[in-house]
């Protein structure tokens, strides 16, 4: 089923490929966006990265972040993500050649894409049939991004017939990793015909609910999503018996149940966000049943200014005790170091400080794992961005 007003965006391609119904809301259907504070940080970091690429240097990050009105916590998040973008660009940007474009809009019929970085380099060693596409990611969702990259590549070859190969780079700023893959025209057109067949000519009946429903704007009204949520909740409650928390071994395959449970959790989170928003709009209190109201209760947290507290505490506490109650945030520290260094030497100054701190045993690296759904055979080459 294709409607005239349906448009297809590269950023939605992973979800559309996971469930083609996600691209075809009913006319007049209410679509729900999640209230996502991380999106503000993402927009701010993209703005910084754009200037970094355009000017090929670390810009005045404070000035770029300022219009976004970030909280101090969001600013602390935005800095390391911005520096991760720079760490990638300073070592790999040259491969993109001359004529690099940022925030590049591509359209062809019902298809559209917004490319963070685009170039058709004319490096001596490259045939002039190659294009580069780069996408910065400030969050990593449990989605296979391959479809997004191929969608971008598809638009590039549609718009520029001389392009026969597209190199896609996706940079996960939080993980400090980058996936790089070169696609041939044949691979790109195979994807295009599958996208046209499955997504653009959706049959109007087949839904594929799963963990990806958590990212779909149709989730609130989608019958398949509602059925999946009911089934998942029933399974979680009923399988091991009343009051018993189910074990991973109760579900085969566990990954499917994990993805469904993630979608249910997301539904609950989104509901809570909307309740909070409704209470705010009602002036801070919503009447409920049995004399109970839902109220935004003022609360506070003290934050101690380290510079002013230092002379008060240092005569009383030992250096070790002071260290126990003090934290040096790496992102803020590197920002301050960079501010002291002359232009062009900021990265070297930060590297030198980190090396010195490591040599003195002042850096404790914590290894941790993140639960994520991944492809068993990654199609792309993954590199780690230098720290
Ligand atoms: S909510 Fe899930 S099943 Fe429904 S359209 Fe979206 S992705 Fe498909």
pLDDT in tens, 149-167: 999 999 999 999 899 999 9
Among 1, 18, 21, 32, name the best residue to mutate to test ligand 1's pocket (greatest count of ligand atoms within 8 A of Cβ): 21
Residue 201: predicted pLDDT: 95
Residue 71: predicted pLDDT: 87
Please state whether 13 falls in left (phi above 0), alpha (psi between -120 and 50) or beta: alpha
CA distances from 202 to 226, 335, 354 (A): 20, 49, 53
Q: Where are the domains of the chain?
A: 8-205, 211-288, 330-375
Closest ligand 1 atom to residue 217 Cα is: 6
- Residues having CB within 6 Å of any atom of ligand 1: 19, 21-22, 207-209, 212-213, 216, 218-219, 222, 224-225
Cα(85)–Cα(172) distance, rounded to whole angstroms? 9
Distance of CA 297 to the CA centre of its chain: 31
Pairing mode of beta strands 165-172, 293-295: unpaired
Question: Domain 8-205, what architecture?
Answer: Alpha-Beta Complex (3.90)
Q: Phi and psi for 210 in degrees, rounded to 5? A: 175, -165
CA of residue 340 to ligand 1 center, whole Å = 51
pLDDT in tens, 87-139: 999 989 988 887 899 999 999 999 999 999 999 876 556 567 899 999 999 98
> For the chain, which residues score pLDDT lower than 50?
1-5, 387
């Amino acid at each position: 089923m294709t409607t005239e007003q349906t448009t297809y965006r590269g950023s939605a391609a992973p979800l559309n490929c996971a469930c083609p119904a996600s691209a075809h809301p009913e006319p007049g259907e209410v679509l729900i966006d999640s209230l996502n504070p991380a999106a503000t940080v993402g927009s701010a970091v993209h703005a910084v990265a754009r200037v970094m690429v355009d000017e090929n240097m670390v810009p005045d990050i404070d000035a770029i972040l300022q219009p976004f009105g970030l909280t101090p916590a969001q600013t602390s998040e935005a800095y390391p993500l911005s520096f991760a973008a720079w760490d990638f660009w300073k070592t790999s940007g040259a491969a993109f050649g001359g004529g690099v474009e940022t925030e590049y809009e591509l359209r062809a019929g019902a298809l559209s894409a917004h490319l963070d970085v685009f170039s058709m380099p004319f490096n001596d060693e490259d045939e002039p049939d190659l294009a580069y596409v780069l996408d910065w990611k400030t969050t990593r969702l449990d989605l296979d991004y391959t479809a997004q990259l191929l969608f971008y590549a598809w638009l590039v070859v549609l718009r520029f017939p001389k392009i026969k190969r597209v190199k896609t780079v996706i940079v996960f700023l939080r993980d400090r990793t980058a996936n790089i893959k070169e696609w041939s025209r044949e691979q790109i057109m195979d994807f295009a015909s599958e996208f046209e067949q499955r997504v653009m000519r959706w049959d109007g009946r087949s839904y594929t609910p799963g963990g990806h429903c958590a990212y779909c704007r149709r989730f609130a009204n989608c019958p398949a999503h509602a059925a999946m949520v009911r089934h998942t909740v029933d399974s979680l409650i009923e399988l091991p018996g009343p009051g018993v928390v189910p074990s991973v071994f109760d579900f085969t395959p566990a990954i499917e149940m994990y993805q469904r449970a993630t979608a249910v959790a997301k539904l609950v989170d989104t509901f809570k966000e909307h309740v909070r928003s409704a209470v705010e709009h009602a002036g801070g209190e919503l009447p409920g049943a049995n004399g109970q109201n839902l109220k935004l209760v003022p609360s506070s947290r003290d934050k101690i200014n380290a510079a002013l507290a230092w002379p008060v505490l240092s005569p009383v506490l030992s250096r070790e005790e002071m260290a126990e109650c003090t934290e040096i945030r790496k992102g803020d520290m590197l920002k301050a170091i960079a501010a002291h260094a002359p232009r062009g030497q900021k990265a070297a100054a930060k590297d030198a400080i980190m090396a010195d701190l490591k040599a003195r045993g002042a850096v404790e690296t914590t290894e941790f794992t993140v639960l994520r759904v991944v492809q068993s055979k990654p199609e792309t080459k993954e590199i780690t961005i230098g720290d």
